[in-house]
Structures are given as structure tokens and as C-alpha cells.
Amino acid sequence: MVLLRRVLGDELRRQRLRQHRTLREVSSAARVSLGYLSEVERGQKEASSELLSSICGALDVPLSVVLRGVSAELALVEPASTPAALTVAAVPGAPVESERVGSELAGAELVPTDLPAAEADVVASAA
């Protein structure tokens, strides 16, 4: 089983090391204890959204960049550890909100990709 806190910690460490910065420098800038930051990087502690924001601010890296790295890593290991991979598929007849941000996902439904096409259509139409 993949732990989100471990993958997130690995990504934060990668970002810090890419900048050739020490734990001490980042912990000071983020106003978090050195020990706690170390535990977050090692995946031993769950970081709150406020703490993540503070660490990302100290690293001068947008949270979205960190989360994208986490998402990419999870995508590599997740299919091996989950029973059915899911994908986003448009639900027929669902309204599309073209003026909203993320409109490409409006009316979308998660459908297992490992189902035969006929079964996937049944799952999508039942929603």
C-alpha cells in the first residue's frame, strides 16, 4: 500500500535538495521545527494544509507543483496496488458547464477502465 504522506515527503525532500538547501534553512523559513520537517520528509508525520503551504512558501515552490509531483509518483505505483484503475469519462446526457474553470470535467463520472466496454457503459449510464 502506498502512503500519501511518504510520497509527499519524498517530493518535498526532492524540491529542497534541488535547491541545495538544508533542513535547517527550510525549517527556519517555514517556521516549523527541524525535527517535525524531517519527520514530514520521511513520511512519518502527516502535514496539514497550512504546514504544506508554509513549507512550499519557504521553498518558493507552488503547492500545485508539489502536488503534481506527488500525483505523477502515485500514478506510477498506484495501478499495481489498486484493484481497478479509474479514469474520467463523460456521462451521456449530463449538462456541460462551458463557462466554469475545469469545464472539461463537468458532467464527468469515474468509471473503472478494466471493465469490458459494455459493462463500462452500464456503469456510466447508471450514475
Q: Provide the number of structural domains found in the chain.
A: 2
Q: At what angle do helices 49-59 and 63-81 cross, to 10 degrees?
A: 120
Give the range of the structural domain holding residue 102, as residue numbers without chain letter.
86-126
pLDDT at 70: 95
Note whether 17 and 64 are same-domain residues: yes
Which helix (H) or strand (E) segment holds residue 112: the answer is strand 108-112
Task: Return averaged pLDDT per consecutive 10 residues of the chain, 127 residues in all.
Answer: 92 97 97 97 95 97 96 84 52 46 42 46 45
Residues 9 and 43 sit within 8 Å (Cβ to Cβ): yes
Contact (Cβ atoms closer than 8 angstroms) between residue 106 and residue 95: yes
- Give the pLDDT of residue 82: 58
Residue 65 and residue 122 share a domain: no
Distance CA 127, CA 111 (A): 10
- Same domain? For 40 and 63 the reply is yes
Residue 13 C-beta-side C-alpha neighbours within 13 Å: 13
CATH number at residue 77: 1.10.260.40
Residue carrying C-alpha cell 502535514: 47
Residues 106, 109, 112, 118: is their CA dihedral positive or negative? Answer: negative
Instruction: State the pLDDT at residue 56.
Output: 97
Residues 68 and 8 in one domain: yes
* pLDDT at 84 (0 to 100): 52
**One domain, residues 18 and 74:** yes
